[in-house]
Amino acid sequence: MTDTSSRPNPGVDLDAVASATYSAVFSDVCDAMGLRGQTVSPGLVPLGGPGTLIGWARTALSVPVEAAPARHYGGEIDFIDSLRIGDVAVVDCSRHPAAAWGELFSTAARGRGARGAVIDGLIRDRRKITEMGFLISGRGCRPTDSLGRVSIQEVDTSIQLGGVRVETGDLIVADEDGITVVPSAYAERAIALAMAKASTENKARDLLLAGGKLADVWERFRVL
């Protein structure tokens, strides 16, 4: 049985949230809740399939190593095999320019039910990852393998992602605009507010397309 007990609301329909919202909406609702520093600094961009990635963070720290471990890819295997339905793998591999993620890691993560990955570092096999529609953000691509260069040493630990602290259980929202991180204690409220705001923005958009003035739309809906 998949353990979802650590999630703020394990019953959230993440597919519905992903189809209706995006990172900017969650940034706005974080601002409204007084959380004004929850967007990751620019540099992490979508490198896989299209769409908005929304799910629960599972964090890992990958650090430089001088040689391959006795059990090759041991830390990575254990981490990916521990992923659960609804997870987003969030890996800090910012300390060495080797590819920390690739096609087979993506395939295994998807098989475990993970929704995607955010790699603060480099990936490889981008074409195959894109073809399979796996949602992943990273800082770029490089064919250099991670074995003997970097290795996952800590899992479910606090990490820094572009200036934002990320803990396992936080809500990750990533798309073409960037990444918003919602602390787990605020996630359920943020989802409700984001869904409502997205619906309001749709109404405002329809009115604008019908020729409505921006000033009038602002006064009526208070969204821009």
This prediction has a pTM of 0.90
- DSSP assignments along 115-126, one per residue: -EEEEESEE--H
Q: What is the Cα–Cα distance from 90 to 159, expressed in whole angstroms?
A: 9
Q: Which residue has the higher pLDDT, 223 or 103?
A: 103
Give the pLDDT confidence score for residue 4 in this predicted structure.
Answer: 46
What is residue 223's predicted lDDT score, i.e. its pLDDT? 76
CA atoms in the 13 A half-sphere facing the CB of 163: 12
For residue 6, pLDDT over 60 is answered with no
Rounded to 5°, angle at Cα 136 from 48 and 122? 95
Among 42, 69, 80, 78, which Cα is nearest to 150's?
69
The answer to whether 56 and 86 have CB atoms below 8 angstroms apart is yes
Q: Is the pLDDT of residue 146 over 80?
A: yes
Domains annotated on the chain, with CATH: 14-184 (3.50.30.40)
Least confident of 16-30, 174-188, 194-208: 194-208
> What is the structure's pLDDT at 10?
62
pLDDT of residue 3 exceeding 60, the answer is no
Mean pLDDT of 194-206: 85
pLDDT digits (tens, 9 = 90+) for 95-140: 988 999 999 999 999 999 999 999 999 999 999 999 999 999 999 9
* Residues in CB range of 81: below 8 A, 6 or more apart: 108, 112
Q: Is the pLDDT of residue 49 over 70?
A: yes
* 124 assigned to a ligand binding site: yes
DSSP alpha helix (H) spans, 14-139: 14-20, 23-32, 74-81, 103-112, 126-131
Kindly state the average pLDDT of the residues 158-180: 98
pLDDT band at 9 (very low <50, low <70, confident <90, very high): low
pLDDT higher than 60, residue 5:
no
Q: Is 220 annotated as a binding residue?
A: no
Report which of 128, 84, 137 is spatially closest to residue 107, judged by C-alpha positions. 128
Quickly list H helices, the chain: 14-20, 23-32, 74-81, 103-112, 126-131, 184-209, 214-221
Residue 7 — pLDDT band, cuts 50, 70, 90?
Answer: low
- Would you state the torsion angle of the CA atoms of residues 175, 180, 181, 186, taken in this order, to the nearest 10 degrees? -120
